[in-house]
Amino acid sequence: MNSRKYLVLAGVSVFAPVGDSLLSYGMKQVGNISLNNIPELLLAIANPWVGLGIVLLLGFFASYMTALSWADLTYVLPASSLGYVLLALIARFALHEQISLMRWLGIALVSGGVGFVTSGPEVTRRPPQHLSNDGVAAEHL
């Protein structure tokens, strides 16, 4: 792992929770959507908060794809969950919200999980793969 890879994981961590929060804020403005009126769901992206949330989630997606290209899924997901902790810390120290004991315990568990996974290798080692004609590694599963 080098600094570029840690930066990519940080991008995954930060963009996802902030984007989700903006989506939540926007969808509360849009209101309840019935299963009988699915097109209304498509129009929800016209809400600016939902739109901004989508932009951040696109940033998340680019970082996530990059991380998955060199690390296992079971490494990337827990390792990038520090974003939940980051959001709680922003709520406590920037927004001066009260953090309950349960939430501090949750922060400790998430941090412990991140510590577990990042102490191991980021990718499952496999035998070398053959390359197909278009330069992309052939399937081996």
Partner 1 sequence: MIPHAISNLNGWLAILAIVISSSAGDVLLSRGMKQIGDLGEVRRKHGFNFVLLQILRNRYFLIGVGCMAISFYSLLFGLSWNEVSLIGPAAASLTFVANAFAAKMFLHEHVDHRRWAAALFVAAGVVLMAF
Binding site for partner 1 (CB under 8 A): 4, 20-21, 23-24, 27-28, 30-33, 35, 41, 44, 50, 57, 61, 64-66, 68-70, 72-78, 81, 84, 88, 100, 102-103, 105-114, 116-117, 119-120, 124, 136-137, 139, 141
Positive/negative CA dihedral, 46, 48, 95, 78: positive
In the complex, the smallest distance separating the C-beta of residue 133 from partner 1, rounded to whole angstroms, is 13
Nearer to partner 1, 10 or 33 (CB): 33
In the complex, the smallest distance separating the C-beta of residue 104 from partner 1, rounded to whole angstroms, is 9
Nearer to partner 1, 96 or 120 (CB): 120
In the complex, the smallest distance separating the C-beta of residue 87 from partner 1, rounded to whole angstroms, is 9
Nearer to partner 1, 96 or 131 (CB): 131
Q: What is the chain's length?
A: 141
Q: Within a 10 A sphere around the Cβ of 57, how many other Cβ atoms?
A: 18
Nearer to partner 1, 30 or 52 (CB): 30
CA pair distance 15, 60, nearest whole angstrom? 5
Question: Contacts by 122-125 with C-beta closer than 8 Å and gap 24+?
Answer: 122/1, 122/5, 122/70, 122/71, 122/72, 122/75, 122/79, 123/70, 123/71, 123/72, 123/75, 124/72
In the complex, the smallest distance separating the C-beta of residue 48 from partner 1, rounded to whole angstroms, is 15
